[in-house]
Amino acid sequence: MDIRAEDFEAEFARHPLARAYVVAGMEPLQVVEAADAVRRRARDEGFDERDILHAEPGFDWGQLASAGANQSLFAARRIIELHLPDKGPGKPGSAAIADFLKKDAPDTLLLVVAPGLAASARKSAWYKAIAKAGAVSYAWPLPASRMVAWIERRAEKRHLAITREAAQLLATQNEGNLLAAAQEIDRLALLYPDATVDHDEVAAAASDHARFDIFDLPAKALDGNAAGAIKSLYRLRAEGVDAVPITWALVNDLRTLYQAALAARANRLDAFMNKIFMPVARKRQISQAARAADPAHLATLLRQAARADAINKGAASGRAWDELITLTIALSGRTPAAQTTHPSFATTRSP
């Protein structure tokens, strides 16, 4: 079967558990949730062990055959989870997957996961073999025309009553970002457990889109857009957003960039990025920044971020927002002294 990502869980539940699955695509939330659905059901049906293989450059494809052949003394059934790069398994991997599927091994289930998968890989023999033996699902970015219906179905699953106007507003606010929309639906379900959510409740809960600026800020900094990043930081402060989640967002991207920069120095950047689920454009941005970044400089910024975190927690003296300004500008590649010339904070400093 070839199952549309939006329909995967419902369609998957209608059929017996198959021998093999591929879940891949450009929409991380749908890839993750499809893989989770396979894992949950497999565990429920007695697949108690799970072997995880990462097909990095130089990967020994004999490990796939070995994983299928080795049975534990304590668990009769196992999931073999194979993580692929965007380009797919290549010729040796394609042959190994095809050989694996030819064997009569009802106590092993193959789950192939990829954050993206090139069109050439989806036309290959291994992909077609898994589609024949089980099911494949590729998560394309959701078109705006289907966003409202997706939100309504998601809300229903979360037992959230929502009007069409509210769903339309959520679709507009999230602009195709399914992860952000899913998080907002979960939050609304907690805020309004026994009420129908209308346009006004969604508008109030959105807090003027502050959460988007939190994640937009490090993205602008990584692009070298210091002015745009500082503008986002100023807006967050003006809206009363606490420094703690902003620090977390910066630290999260800094840590990923640092690890990616180390991987780039070891010629393992592609392998590192293939293990991360995030939008393709975001992965491209971090990869580009990692190739140009100095790991030693990023380590210094991580120590600086740790100080900002300590200030947030009251474990160190200082001004949390001053630390965030300095950290944001440094991440963008500018000198920290630039913060004194930015007008946005000139009249809004507070202890």
User: How confident is the model at residue 167, as a pLDDT?
Assistant: 92
CATH no. for residue 220?
1.20.272.10
| pLDDT score, position 334 | 60
Per-residue confidence (pLDDT) for residue 340, from 0 to 100 = 37
Q: Which of 139, 158, 185 is the last residue of a domain?
A: 139
Model pLDDT, residue 165: 92
- Asked if residue 62 and residue 166 are part of one domain, the reply reads no
Q: Of the candidates 139, 163, 181, which is a domain's last residue?
A: 139
The predicted pLDDT at position 229 comes to 86
185 and 79: one domain? no
Considering 165, 190, 205, which residue would you say is the last residue of a domain?
205
Residue identified by tokens 């959701």 is: 142
Alpha carbon 56 to its chain's center: 19
| Number of domains observed in the structure of the chain | 3
- Torsions phi, psi of 181, nearest 5? -65, -40
Length of the chain equals 351
Based on the fold, state whether residues 198 and 101 are members of the same structural domain.
no
User: Within a domain: residue 351?
Assistant: no
Question: To which H or E segment does residue 288 belong?
Answer: helix 280-292
> Do 54 and 106 sit in the same domain of this protein?
yes
Question: So what's the pLDDT on residue 345?
Answer: 42
Give CA–CA dist 81/61, Å, rounded. 13
What's 175's DSSP letter?
A: T
- The residue with tokens 């999931």 is 79
Q: Is 268 found in the same domain as 313?
A: yes
Residues 23 and 149 in one domain: no
pTM passes above 0.85 = no
Beta bridge partners of 50: 79
Of 52, 112, 98, which Cα lies nearest the Cα of 78? 52
Same domain, 222 and 109: no
Residues of the chain with pLDDT under 70: 68-75, 206-213, 239, 277-279, 334-351
Tell me, yes or no, whether 327 lies in a domain: yes
Based on the domain organization, do 200 and 220 belong to the same domain? no
Domain containing residue 173:
144-205
Residues near 51 by beta carbon (within 8 Å), at least 6 away in sequence: 67, 78, 79, 80, 81
* 233/282 same-domain check: yes
CATH number at residue 118: 3.40.50.300
User: Helices (H) and strands (E) in the chain — how many of each?
Assistant: 17, 7
